[in-house]
Amino acid sequence: MYEVGPRDGLQNEAAIVPTAGKIAFVNALGAAGLPAIEVGAFVSATRVPQMADTAEVLAGIIRKPGTRYAALVPNLKGLERAVTARVDEVAIFAAASDTFSRRNINQSIEESLKGYAEVARAALAAGVRVRAYLSTAFGCPFEGDVPVTRVIDLTRRLFDFGVYEVAISDTIGIAHPGQVRQVMRDLTAAFKARELALHFHDTRGTALANVLAAMDFGVTTFDSSAGGLGGCPYAPGASGNLATEDLLYMLQGLGHAATVQIDAVCDASLALEPVIGHPLPSRYVHARR
């Protein structure tokens, strides 16, 4: 499980969560037993103001042994700040749709890949692992269908940069199990399943079904966001991520993720609710009230 709540979960929230609240959130998620937490992003504070204090959050957290603390970086300047903040790994974020790439980072796919190659090279030289997201892999809000052949080509190019894992991302929650099976059949024919992660949004209520479909192909890493928070500021229609609590409830029912404390994750999420000013999307959270 790759917890993205402190970054992807909060980046689209209108209410700015105080630094102390973010630190408490990350500490609580680590204490709950989550193995990897994306703490924030070293991006433009003008474009994503919620992430302006990522360095301060990383400086203030209690780092639990065995938990990996990551941050998203768009360029070499962001990487430099992340390394100074002592992250365990960084994430780069490419897209499978040129229009989305331009809306998201103001660069074409090719322009972004040129920059990410430099970021990955510098990160690895600094001893920092690199993860990659491939956004809009199941469909784009601007271009519609995205060919699987393009997803495979871009995934291969990201692995050529030296990333250890590519998170194939359903940025707008459009994927369904039939499509997931088709895409994963082709992807796992080209790459090892253990090198792939899945990043689902629950816009249409299919995220858990999509996880089950991907598990049939040997994929074992899934992104999720505590409380079901999330959404992309540059992807119309992208609602919350797959909720960590909902994913945990299903996985633990199947005999997985036994070391993660589901109610501790739920408590961490609920502590944010008064700050963000609206109910959490997570179905497990609602059922536990």
List the catalytic residues: 232
Task: Count Cβ atoms within 10 A of the Cβ of residue 66 and give its class: 0-12 exposed, 13-18 middle, 19 or more buried.
Answer: exposed
Q: Which residues of 103-136 are buried (b: 16+ CB within 10 A; e: fewer)?
A: bbbebebeebbebbbebbebbeeeebbbbbbbbb
Nearest to 197 by CA among 6, 35, 2: 2
CA–CA separation, 130 and 72 (whole Å): 10
Residue 214's H or E segment, with its range, is helix 207-215
220 half-sphere exposure, CB direction, 13 A CA radius: 7
Q: What amino acid is encoded at 58 in this protein?
A: L
CA nearest to 122, candidates 95, 94, 85, 82: 82
Q: Which two tokens stand for residue 40?
A: 């924030």
Separation CA 236–CA 99 (nearest Å): 13
Give me 229's structure tokens: 């928070």
Q: How far apart are the first and last CA of the chain?
A: 24
Q: What are phi and psi of 88, to 5 degrees?
A: -85, -30
